[in-house]
Structure 1
Amino acid sequence: MRVGASKRLTSVVFLPLLVVSVFLVLYGLLVVYSAVSVDAKYNFNRQLAGIAVGIIAMAVIWRFDYRRLAGYVKLFLVINVVLILSPHLPFIGVHTMGATSWINIGMQVQPGEFAKITVILLDAAIVAQYNDRLSQPRIYLKALGLMMVPFVAIMTQPDLGTGLVYLFIGAVALLVSQAPVRYLLITALCFVAFIVLVFLADEALKAATGDYRLLKTYQRNRLLVFMNEGAANASEEGYNVRQAMIAIGSGGLWGQGYMQGSQHNLGILPEAPTDFIFCVLAEEFGLVGSLILLLAYAILIASCIYVALRANNTFGTLIVACGVGMWIFQILENIGMTCSLMPITGIPLPFMSYGSSFMVVNFMVLGLISSVWTHNSRVKE
């Protein structure tokens, strides 16, 4: 390849990010195919369709100059609210598994997943706009209030897992910004205090009315399973964690072999293609296969951090940081819950879990990060 052509390619494509993304998608397809092969309610072709649509969406976003989006805080806020509240609309909203998180428009779509893109853009735009004034309490509270709107909206479904992703994206945006550390610590303490108050208030309501009103039973059980082994032994959520840990442990060093995992082939492992896809991987490919996945994630994150450091404006840096923050939280939470190191949530594993909406969103985030790389490289060149 000629030197000039090589420079042009480098300015458009960041090869480490592209290569590791392709690897993760192919690795995910391999594991998902095994997981869905024993469960008739999942359709592998939908996963392929999600990847195809995701690639198209990524290409469109990649070519678009992200810098043109920096001033649209109000627009992103409106889009977020409309997307997240759309499942409440009559005739198209779908209520399943205790939440109203889906819409049926000829096919089922989860708008809260797609809202992750606008949450990234919203938080990045807010912090970029107020970055040099976040030391002022009024400005910090204004920015924080705007960033909390998507979380409040998603809790009307309710979808705590996706809401936590929104919160973490916002936390990353504030950490990367020039916000004073004391403000961030106070915000974190207030959030913890709020959770404790919700639990105490729910207990008081239980004593007065005979029923919990603020948290759903499965949400309480998931947190209790994480904090109390006795609760784990007495609930469905505890059973799920035990089966997940058995599956991971049964893989040993090299695994039981592709499509030979006993736990998910016998139907014992719950939600194997989605929430517990890491257990399928560990069961079939063992510790070695799990470490390969973690190494790939490390390369993905390191590549994105390099792109963020190369960005020549705050908005671009924040977009990449928020996208990476979303992935890091989902990776730690999903793998952590299968090992009983984190509370159980419905948070999927990036590029690995079954779900066409989720796969499209991952590709869209890749498109945003690639747009930051491409347009900054062209400016510098």
Structure 2
Amino acid sequence: MISKSTAYYNGLIEGYLNGQCTPEQEKELWMYLSSSRSNKTILDQLQKKFDLDAVAPQLLDGGNSKRIFNKITEAMGRPGRIPKQGYIKWLGIAAMLVVLAGTIILFVSRAPGGGSAPQKLVKGDVPPGGNRGVMVLAGGARIDFEKITIGDSVKESGLVIAKTGEGEVRMRTAGNAVDTGEQPQMNTIQTPVGGQYKVTLSDGTTVWMNAGSVLKFPVTFTDTERSVQAEGELYFEVAKDAAHPFKVKTGEQVAEVLGTHFSVKSNANNAIVKTTLLEGRIRISGGTAQPRILEPGEASEFKAKTSELKVTVNKNPEEVTAWKNGYFLFDSTNFSTVQEQLEKWYDVTFLYAEVPQMQFFGKVPRNVPLSHVLKLMEMVGAIKFKIRGREVYVTNG
């Protein structure tokens, strides 16, 4: 058999990622990547390209895979580190590490903010979600944030809504904002499936809302507390005000803080509420459960049906903030969880005969078409995706 050059196989990798490989070429590529010779070749290339420490192929276990992944991610985040025309090739080579290591799926992609523009959408593909949100005021008026020009503001029902940037609005109460009723009049902000928004409330608290989320807040906060209601997935950076505690109610759970950074995520009907604390302190209560105080790095899970409240250590805080920072982050994440995130952001439905038994590890920006994410997931060779409208069919590879 005639030996072929590394450049030839790099070309196959690039062709595979671009969807230009024939079935015979795909088979040849996977045979090459499963050989010990290619294992050493790829490691040598990675070491040279990304300044990695020397790693013997036999030591390429799960821990080393994560370490190499982090090094590659850091390198890809540096402007000018990888020529644009060579990026796909190196993305592919990095993704192949998992096949060689026999560990969890490993894939990488350029981190958001690195100067790369959203990819051009091809026919039949699904575009990523975007900055979309609407607000329904207590008086019934409906405001679509997309229709407000950056720098402009809208005054309605005692509230001034200013659009300060792409996907960002800031609220402040007008001088005539009064709520005299026994039941506070509530404004409601909603992000649809495939939408997200960043909102700053009148007290200075900033809230990031993920797709399919709801935030309700009063026309004016009371003299004793700042209380809001949340559904879906939201990240809060609460403005400090010791005299007016900030409370977030999600179903039967109440999170009370003075000033802190935390995430709240609930499922359908708020049956299960997960709260993760990144900074400060927070008091969690709900139903008949004994209230608990969370410290930074801790997370709670409240089950409304049984009033069970469990506190654990959150081993990877970055997972909690990844979506608001513009990317998906998977750390030994099962297929069902990945599916849930992709369905919410791309507004699609996955269809399959049985749930694929896989785990994923990697980082992918949220501003790319769906096909980009699916192609990376396919690189293990054990799963295939077919996009038809807003449905994604999943079969064994």
TM above 0.5, yes or no, is no
Using the size of structure 2 for normalisation, the TM-score is 0.24
> Higher strand fraction: Structure 1 or Structure 2?
2
Point out the structure with max Rg over C-alpha. 2
Using the size of structure 1 for normalisation, the TM-score is 0.25
> Higher helix fraction: Structure 1 or Structure 2?
1
